[in-house]
C-alpha cells in the first residue's frame, strides 16, 4: 500500500481508481510511458501516489495541459485525473473542445457529486434535491451527464464510459480500453462514481449504499 495513502480521507474512492490505473498500466507494461496530470481538487492528493511521472495543474486545466504534453511527447501515454467540478464546470469548455478535436488523451473523471476538496458544495453532478452546504434545502438543479453530452461531439474511435469504484472488474476493463484508444490515436473519457464519505457524511455501509444509489441516476456502461 503506498505510504501516502493517508492523504486521502478514510474510505475515499480516489485510491481505488488510482490503484486500478496502476495495475492496468503494469499489466500492459507501459508505466514508464505514462504521465499522470492532476487537476485541483482531491485529485491533487495523488501527488507521488503512483510510481509514474505526475504533475499538477490548475483547477479545470488538466485536459489542455495533458493535450499539450501529448503533442510535445507523442510517445507518452497521457492521463488526466479530474473531479466532476473540474471536468464539468470550470474545465468544461476545454474538455468539449478536446473531445471534438479527438485529442489522443485519456480523461478519468471522479464523480463524487460534490466539490469534495472545498467542503462538499454543489457540483454539476449533484443530484436533484441533494443537500449540500450550498444547497441546504436541496439542489434545485438536475445533474449533468458528462459522457452522454460528449457522445454527440466525439469522433469515431473515441471511447466514453461510466463505471464505479466498487465495480473493479469493469473499472479495469474500461481503463484498459481507454489506454488502447489513446494508443490508436483517439480521445477517451471514463467517469468513475466514487466514494466521498467526508462530504456525504456517511459511515460504513451507508457509503456503499449511497454509491449504489447513484448508479440508478448515472447509468454504468460504455456509451
In the β-sheet with 34-38, what is the strand arrangement from edge to edge?
A: 53-56, 34-38, 77-83, 106-111, 188-193, 159-164, 221-222
204 burial class (0-12, 13-18, 19+ CB within 10 angstroms)? exposed
Tell me how crowded residue 100 is: count the other CB atoms within 10 A of its CB.
Answer: 14
Find the radius of gyration of the CA atoms of the chain. Answer: 16
Nearer to ligand TPP, 134 or 180 (CB): 134
Please choose which of ligand SF4, Mg ion, ligand TPP, none residue 191 contacts, taking the beta carbon within 5 to 8 angstroms, the exact cut-off set by kind: none
Residue 112 CB, nearest approach to Mg ion (Å)? 4
Find the binder of ligand TPP among 12, 38, 95, 123 (CB under 6 A).
Answer: 123
Residue 191 CB, nearest approach to Mg ion (Å)? 11
Collapse the DSSP code of 40 into the 3-class scheme (helix H, G, I; strand E, B; otherwise coil) and give the result.
Answer: coil
Q: Residue number with the shortest CB distance to ligand TPP?
A: 83
| Start-to-end C-alpha separation, the chain | 33
Nearer to ligand SF4, 182 or 198 (CB): 198
Nearer to ligand TPP, 40 or 63 (CB): 40
Tell me how crowded residue 202 is: count the other CB atoms within 10 A of its CB.
Answer: 17
Q: Does 15 sit near Mg ion (CB under 5 A)? A: no
Please choose which of Mg ion, ligand TPP, ligand SF4, none residue 12 contacts, taking the beta carbon within 5 to 8 angstroms, the exact cut-off set by kind: ligand SF4
Find the binder of Mg ion among 94, 112, 132, 163 (CB under 5 A).
Answer: 112
Strand 77-83 relative to strand 53-56, pairing: unpaired
Q: Find out whether 78 and 182 touch, Cβ atoms under 8 Å.
A: yes
Helix (H) or strand (E) holding 36: strand 34-38
User: Looking only at residues 155 through 184 of this chain, which bind ligand TPP when binding is defined by CB under 6 A?
Assistant: none
Residue 116 CB, nearest approach to ligand TPP (Å)? 3
Please choose which of ligand SF4, ligand TPP, Mg ion, none residue 9 contacts, taking the beta carbon within 5 to 8 angstroms, the exact cut-off set by kind: ligand SF4
Please choose which of Mg ion, ligand SF4, ligand TPP, none residue 35 contacts, taking the beta carbon within 5 to 8 angstroms, the exact cut-off set by kind: none
The residue whose grid cell reads 483547477 is 59
Residues that bind ligand TPP (CB under 6 A): 40-43, 59, 83-86, 110, 112, 114-118, 123
Amino acid at each position: 500500500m503506498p505510504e501516502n495513502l493517508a492523504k486521502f480521507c478514510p474510505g475515499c474512492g480516489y485510491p481505488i481508481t488510482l490503484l486500478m490505473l496502476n495495475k492496468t498500466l503494469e499489466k500492459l507494461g507501459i508505466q514508464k510511458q505514462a504521465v499522470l496530470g492532476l487537476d485541483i481538487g482531491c485529485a491533487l492528493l495523488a501527488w507521488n501516489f503512483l510510481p509514474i511521472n505526475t504533475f499538477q495543474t490548475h483547477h479545470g486545466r488538466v485536459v489542455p495541459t495533458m493535450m499539450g504534453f501529448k503533442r510535445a511527447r507523442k510517445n507518452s501515454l497521457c492521463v488526466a485525473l479530474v473531479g466532476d467540478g473540474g471536468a464539468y464546470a470550470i474545465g468544461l469548455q476545454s474538455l468539449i473542445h478536446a473531445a471534438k478535436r479527438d485529442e489522443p488523451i485519456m480523461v478519468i473523471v471522479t464523480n463524487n457529486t460534490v466539490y469534495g476538496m472545498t467542503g462538499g458544495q454543489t457540483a454539476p453532478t449533484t443530484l436533484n434535491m441533494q443537500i449540500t452546504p450550498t444547497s441546504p434545502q436541496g439542489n434545485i438543479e438536475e445533474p449533468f451527464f458528462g459522457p452522454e453530452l460528449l457522445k454527440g461531439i466525439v469522433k469515431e474511435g473515441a471511447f466514453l464510459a461510466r463505471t464505479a469504484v466498487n465495480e473493479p472488474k469493469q473499472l479495469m476493463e474500461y481503463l484498459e480500453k481507454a489506454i488502447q484508444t489513446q494508443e490508436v490515436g483517439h480521445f477517451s473519457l471514463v467517469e468513475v462514481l466514487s466514494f466521498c464519505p467526508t462530504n456525504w457524511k456517511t459511515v460504513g455501509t451507508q457509503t456503499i449504499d449511497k454509491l449504489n444509489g447513484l448508479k440508478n441516476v448515472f447509468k454504468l456502461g460504455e456509451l
